[in-house]
Structure 1
Amino acid sequence: MASTMKKTPTFFLLSLLLLLPLLASCAKRQVYIVYFGEHSGEKTLDEIEETHHSYLFSVKETEEEARSSLLYSYKNSINGFAAVLTADEASKLSELEEVVSVFRSEPSKYSLQTTRSWEFVGLDEGEKWNHMKRDDLLLKARYGKQVIVGLLDNGVWPESRSFRDEGMGHIPKSWKGICQSGDSFNSSNCNRKLIGARYYLKGYEQYYGPLNTSLDYRSPRDKDGHGTHTSSTVGGRRVHNASALGGFARGTASGGAPLVHLAIYKVCWAIPGQGKEEGNTCFAEDMLAAIDDAIGDGVHVLSISIGTYEPTFYTEDGISIGALHAIKKNIVVACSAGNSGPAPSTLSNPAPWIITVGASSVDRAFVASLLLGNGMKIEGQTVTPYKLEEKMYPLVYAAQVVGPNVPKNDTAGQCLPGSLSPEKAKGKIVMCLRGNGSRVGKGEEVRRAGGIGFILGNSPANGAELTADAHVLPATAVASDSAIKILKYINSTKKPMAYISPARTVLDRKPAPFMASFTSRGPNTITPDILKPDITGPGLNILAAWSGASSPTKLADDKRVVEYNILSGTSMSCPHVGAAAALLKAIHPTWTSAAIRSALITSAGLNNNLGKPITDASGHPATPFQYGSGHLRPSKAADPGLVYDASYSEYLLFLCYHGVTKFDPSFKCPKSPPTPNNLNYPSLAISKLNGTVTVKRTVTNVGGGGKSVYFSSVKPPIGFSVKVSPPILFFHHVGQKKSFTITVKAETEAETTIGKDEYAFGWLTWSDGVHIVRSPMAVSLA
């Protein structure tokens, strides 16, 4: 025994020494993105790639190593490359004068942000929905004809009825894209609706190794469902009698712009060793390649339902970099705010050249009531097609029926995989709490343990927001207050009993919209003086097309197949705004992307269908850090009256302020660039105000009449005074610009009404009696 002990350390050290070179080589194999900003315009595509090779050769030992290390050379609009580098090589390249930024690719940095909704966004404040208004907008926009929307996501299921091309008309002559072949996908899968499809996985494979084709298709085909859902939300054709599994939400499924052309850029992939229900991953280098191609292909709008887990500076964020290059070509870019709410300062995609979209509800519910043994009836929601026989069943809390080896801690009641005891759970309705693990995974665990039904109880953070899932057994989801009542009932009796009623679709629910608890919140941590998000749109329980290779829950053991599925997330709200942008692009083809963003922001609605201010799911007042300027109203955005326009050079000045001085070789930063709150943005944020601040804004008259007079009105943030000068603007023709200043001053009592790091909110509105041009304000004290 003693002699064995002596040998072990020697053997271990020898093994470790043998492993050191291997460990060192592994450390080297990291992907970095080397970013140069704009092209000078003097080189051909081949010359650009050779230049990128020469940079690599300057830090590599051989030309062969330099060429083999290159993953992508970005050449269309973005100037940069992605390559396998050591930290030392990356550092050397970052010291070069012409390099804007060098940043490492992070494998878990980006992920996807997981019918009735289009009717609902036509709702006017204080009015019943008038079908003519939406139809008028669609007619004016010719249903999005000749507009091309690109989507960065995880592919598409081309056989879906939502992507038929009958009556689509010809493909725009400006289109330069391709239909890339691959696994179970070729050029015949594209048509006049799906006019292009590409896929990008060099970054993914550099990190994970070769794609496991049992997890995903090496092609633009969607094996998950998410990409099919978002693309059909933007531009799906009208499909009558569509519904989710079980007939829920039955009606006509349609994208917001049913005649737009769609271009699919697959950049997100399944994570090895993880269930699809847990999400996908998307690599910055793959997304940059896709955006660079999309710009060259000729898209007009980009809808990107992808976000980061934490805010990232603009020149180290692949989406931000790509979006700014897209803006130079006048492409509108809409992105998800993220699903990291309800905590503050969590939002993704905060760049001012991006439309950042939060998520809110629609006026539809899938009600499945819970009847308790004491006679109490509790409302829940679900879209499971499974039903219980109408009788009472034993009811238990998950923590009461866990296996013997499961610790009795906070997670015991969360139905995590393998936690429940089949002996204790069999034949019972099991109450599980939200927290760790996926919602549908909890239902799967109850089924595995032999449970007859499943109640999903919200945590206090989720409040009263109910996400409807197609669970694998009879189930319902209940609000956090209801969950507490159920737990009290379980603990009050020796034999708790319950019955879950079959779900039914209920329309015209009130109040709606309310803000989803998961939607990521401001303030903007990268630039606090830019208010984000910009707007909110339908993102809770949204019906859209689905992949034929994925089940409604995405669980590996769920073999059900559906044409349409219900999903929630800012991933769902983003394509609503992308579609609205496409309609505006069709009506106003000469407008800049900033003008379209301004029209959407300043026309958004603040009230729910009860005529009261938008709240969160629990009824507490919501703020612009949740909804931006309000809820999307596309018909109002088509005729906004005034727009806050901004040019590409103004965004370069914005970057100058942040110390990014080499983005465009043809642009020289001034010694004193304007402050971020002086960017001509359709909202205003002033962080850490000390005394008084005056900012400037310029509006452009786009109203049909030409001659008009606009009067300002202000609802100042509590504790502050706001003065607009001049308070009246006179316009004589369309296209005329007028500037004004906004002076914000802290009142003497501000310190007693506003806490440290707290914000107060207000509104600036311009109106000519016809148009209401509204901008949110957020102010905090120094």
Structure 2
Amino acid sequence: MDAKFIITSCNFNKRFMEKYLAVLCFLFISLHMKALCEERQVYIVYLGEHSGNRNFEEIEEHHRSFLHSVKGSKQEAETCLIHSYKHIINGFSAFLTPEEASTVSEMDGVISVFRSQTRRLRLQTTRSWDFTNLLEANGDLSRVNGEKLLQRASYGKDVIVGVFDSGIWPESRSFNDEGMEPVPKSWKGTCQQGIAFNSSHCNRKIIGARYYLKHYEAEHGPVKEKMEFRSPRDKNGHGTHTASTIGGRRVPNASSLGGFANGTASGGAPLVRLAIYKVCWQPDPLDEPVCPDGDTLAAFDDAIKDGVHVISLSIGSYTSSPYAEDGTAIGSLHALKRDIIVVCSAGNSGPTPSSVSNVAPWLISVGASSIDRIFQSTIVLGNGLIVQGRTVTPFRKTKKYPLVYAVDVEIPGKTTNVTTGRCFPGTLSKKLVKGKVVFCWVGFISQALEVRRAGGVAAIFGNPYGGKGVVESPFLLPGTTVLQNDRATIVSYILNNENPTATLFPGRTIIGTGPAPFMAPFTALGPNGIEPNILKPDITAPGLNILAAWTEASPPTQLLQDHRVVKYNIGSGTSMSCPHVSAVAALLKAIHPDWSSAAIRSSLMTTG
């Protein structure tokens, strides 16, 4: 063999091995650092507010200096840093052990160090604005109060609302910008591109869009493509629903699946500008979207700098934290200092006392109440007795079918004294259920799936919330929900008749029902768990069975088994009531641009 070839080959192999070893070393160190970070938890280190003219590199280096002092190496400190807040809010989020967090909390300049909360979206509008006297359901401005407010506010055209949520479906008719004026010069934000979302999806209605992933992916790993769009586009539907309730354009003949709630869909401020901040992500098909504090605080930092006037945040937690350890409280405090109004949902953990979340005194916490619209479905029992149910499930009139109580058709050993009669997954016998209507003592979407799995032709559910309010969702089989007082009537009929039967009639929309409003059964209650002398929630707004725009990437029930596509959907929760207040706050801001955030909050609470 040629000697020159041998020498050249040896040199090549040596260089190859050096590079190969270097790559292996880098991968090992990266995996080692990742493992070190995974043993820790995400903490937020809050340092107050930026002052002076530091550039971004100087700010980030300053933040790293806190980590350098508690980490074993500079590289480990850099790897465990997640967010460095550089615009208005001074602080950062990072992986720390409890001991490291305690050490950092004692350093000069540190206001607080706290575990980042993972908040959640809980989804639990043609009529609501009419019911609140803002505009007529057909789009005519004939009521004096609504006409005066909307015209004086120019329908909110120069006000920018930042929506912190699960993103947006920009193709919805609710977000068209036809006839709108150019984007306000005060806007300093951007239209961030990503999967299935580019700059053309922003317009004079959706003037900006961003998404935040660093904290989410640090804890949950990379976003799953089947679950989410890695962009401001909304896969879940929640963000599209809230954004259109705030500022959706007027869309005639909008309705949910099956034509329920038909009318003109409109946001409360139809010419307001929307800036989208996607901070919530779906980790698993069976779980609620999560909204980490670290990412939400980054969105606050950007939104304040971008120039929003109102921030709407339909995100809640199950518990309240001290204000200096609450990302939403901290972010909204910096917004307040610039007279940005922050409106938050109060939570859906009611009616448990002290279940209210978002309790900082400087933000507006919104509870949920009903409107004067129901979706009535008649049930005729075999003895001629009529029971009125509630449904938004589209189906034709069912035939007369045998009616069974879930207690009598359960698989032995699959239930307990607590769960019997409740149609929990895997509890019903196919042999005993097939071809029958099943009555479940309480029920919702998962119970409807169980009746369907067992071969039932239809289902009747007792209202799981009790009281007057029924949270509606379109089931995957004919079904209706009866009020609490009617449950005993149906059970008594089944027990006292040898061959009980039932016929279900399709639901229909009925407007003008009373009493209304009443508090939604799920809405979180006070007293304030942090400071009982500060009353929370501040105000209530329509949040029960609200129609608004929806993503076409997710079915109306958000179930994997559901393959239906809708443009508008009915949702319930304080997530739905929050954007109602955000819209009215935007109108007041348009009329009184010199009013402080506190003045607008006071005006809403004392005249609502």
TM-score, normalized by length of structure 1?
Answer: 0.71
For 2:33 and 2:594, locate their aligned partners in 1 and report how far apart those are by CA, in whole Å. Answer: 57
Seen in structure 2, the aligned counterparts of structure 1 residues 558 and 110 have a Cα distance that, compared at 3 Å, is: closer
5+ long unaligned stretches in structure 1: 1-20, 605-782
CA contact (8 A) 1:270 1:281 kept: yes
> In the alignment, is residue 472 of structure 1 matched against residue 483 of structure 2?
no
Alignment-mate amino acid for residue 456 of structure 2 = G
Query: Within 2, Cα distance between the matches of 1:198 and 1:483?
Result: 48
Q: Which amino acid aligns with 2:46?
A: Y
Aligned partner of 2:454 in structure 1 is 449
1:643 match? none
Instruction: Name the amino acid aligned to 2:184.
Output: P
1:541 aligned partner: 545
- Confirm whether residue 89 of structure 1 aligns to residue 100 of structure 2: yes
Any idea what the Cα deviations from partners look like across 1:99-142, whole Å, max 9, x if unmatched? 111111244x4434542100111189xxxx96232122111100
- 1:223 partnered with 2:239: no
Is the counterpart of residue 111 in structure 1 residue 115 in structure 2?
Answer: no
Deviates more, 1:293-302 or 1:33-42: 33-42
What's the counterpart of residue 399 of structure 1? 407
Deviation at 1:76, TM superposition (A): 1.4
Q: Note the 1:134-149 alignment, pairs <5 A.
A: 134-149=146-161
Q: Secondary structure of the equivalent of 1:137?
A: helix
Structure 2 counterparts to residues 329-340 of structure 1, below 5 A? 329-340=338-349
Aligned residues of 2:246 and 2:579 also touching (Cα < 8 A): yes
Query: What SS class does the counterpart of residue 33 from structure 1 fall into?
Result: strand
Read off the aligned partner of 1:487 and give its amino acid letter. V
**C-alpha separation between the residues in 1 aligned to 2:433 and 2:486?**
22
Q: 1:283 aligns with which of 280, 289, 292?
A: 292
Determine which of 290, 295, 306 is the counterpart of 2:304.
295
Alignment partner, residue 72 of structure 1: 83
Task: Provide the secondary structure at the position in 1 that maps to 2:460.
Answer: strand
Determine the structure 1 residue equivalent to 2:50: 39
- By how many angstroms is 1:48 displaced? 1.7
TM-score after normalising by structure 2:
0.91
Partner of 1:132: 144
Range with greater deviation from structure 2 (520-529 or 67-76): 67-76
Query: Size of the alignment, in residue pairs?
Result: 571
- Mapping for residues 403-552 of structure 1, pairs under 5 Å: 403-434=411-442, 439-459=444-464, 461-552=465-556
- Partner amino acid for 2:359? P
SS in 2 for 1:450: coil
Greater CA deviation, 111-120 or 95-104?
111-120
Distance 1:27 1:191 in 2: 40
* Identity value in percent: 58
Question: C-alpha displacement at 1:571, in angstroms?
Answer: 0.3
1:175 aligns with 2:179: no
Cα separation, 2, equivalents of 1:26 and 1:54: 17
Backbone CA RMSD of aligned residues: 1.9
- Provide the rounded CA distance (Å) in 1 between the counterparts of 2:38 and 2:176: 48
Alignment correspondent of 1:240: 252
How far apart in 2 are the matches of 1:212 and 1:402? 37
Please say which of residues 350-359 and 486-495 is displaced more in the overlay.
486-495
Asked if the contact 1:464/1:478 (under 8 Å) is kept, the reply is no
Q: What amino acid is the match of 2:583?
A: A
Q: Is 21-30 or 551-560 further displaced after alignment?
A: 21-30
Amino acid at match of 2:105: S
C-alpha distance in structure 2 between counterparts of 1:130 and 1:238, whole Å: 16
How many angstroms apart in 2 are the aligned matches of 1:388 and 1:399? Answer: 26
Confirm or deny: 8 A CA contact 2:411 2:429 kept in the other structure. Answer: yes
Match of 1:212 among 221, 224, 234: 224
Instruction: Kindly provide the amino acid, as one letter, of the partner of residue 88 in structure 1.
Output: E
Write the letter of the residue equivalent to 1:599. Answer: S
Classify the secondary structure of the residue corresponding to 1:204: helix
For the residues of structure 2 that align with 1:323 and 1:396, how far apart are their CA atoms? 53
Offset of residue 65 of structure 1 = 1.7
Describe the shift of the 1:335–1:131 C-alpha distance in structure 2 as closer, same or farther (beyond 3 A): same
Give SS of 2:204's match.
coil
Q: Is the Cα contact below 8 Å between 1:31 and 1:85 reproduced in 2?
A: yes
Cα distance in 2 for partners of 1:41, 1:31 equals 28
1:623-642 map, 5 Å: none
Cα distance, 1:98–1:328 mapped onto 2, change above 3 Å: same
CA-to-aligned-CA distance 1:73-108 (integer Å, 9 cap, x gap): 11211111001122221111011132111111244x
Structure 2 residue runs without a partner (length 5+): 1-31, 136-140
- Which of 368, 383, 386 pairs up with 1:374? 383
Of Structure 1 and Structure 2, the greater strand share is in 1
For 1:201 and 1:398, the matched residues in 2 are separated by: 44
Task: Give 1:343 deviation, angstroms.
Answer: 1.2
Give SS of 1:353's match. Answer: coil
Q: Distance in 2 between matches of 1:184 and 1:354?
A: 34
Report the 3-state secondary structure (helix = DSSP H, G, I; strand = E; otherwise coil) of the residue aligned with 2:600: helix
Give 2:193's aligned amino acid: S
Q: For residues 225 and 134 of structure 2, what CA distance do their matches in structure 1 show?
A: 44
The letter of the residue matching 1:355 is: I
Residue 603 of structure 1 deviates from its aligned partner by 0.3
Deviation of the 1:575 alpha carbon? 0.1
Structure 2 contact 414–426 (Cα < 8 Å) conserved: no
Report the alpha carbon displacement of residue 61 of structure 1 after superposing the two structures with TM: 2.1
Contact 1:174–1:298 at 8 Å: present in 2 too?
yes
Alignment correspondent of 2:369 = 360
Deviation, 1:23, is: 13
Is 1:583 equivalent to 2:599 in the alignment? Answer: no
Equivalents in 1 of 2:425, 2:281: separation in Å? 23
Deviation at 1:24, TM superposition (A): 8.7
Query: How far apart are residue 445 of structure 1 and its match?
Result: 1.7
Task: Output one character per residue of 1:215-265: Cα deviation in whole Å (capped at 9) or x when no partner.
Answer: 111111111111100000000000011111111111110000000010111
Q: Which has the higher contact order (CA 8 A, sep 6+)?
A: 2
Tell me which residue corresponds to 2:17. Answer: none
After TM superposition, give the deviation of residue 433 of structure 1 in Å: 3.4
Three-state SS of the structure 2 residue aligned to 1:34 is strand
- In structure 1, the residue matched to 2:596 is 592
Q: Give CA-to-partner distance per residue, 1:292-312, whole Å, 9 cap, x none.
A: 111111110001001111122
Measure, in 1, the Cα distance between the counterparts of 2:559 and 2:513.
30
- The CA distance in 2 between the partners of 1:359 and 1:453, in whole Å, is 30
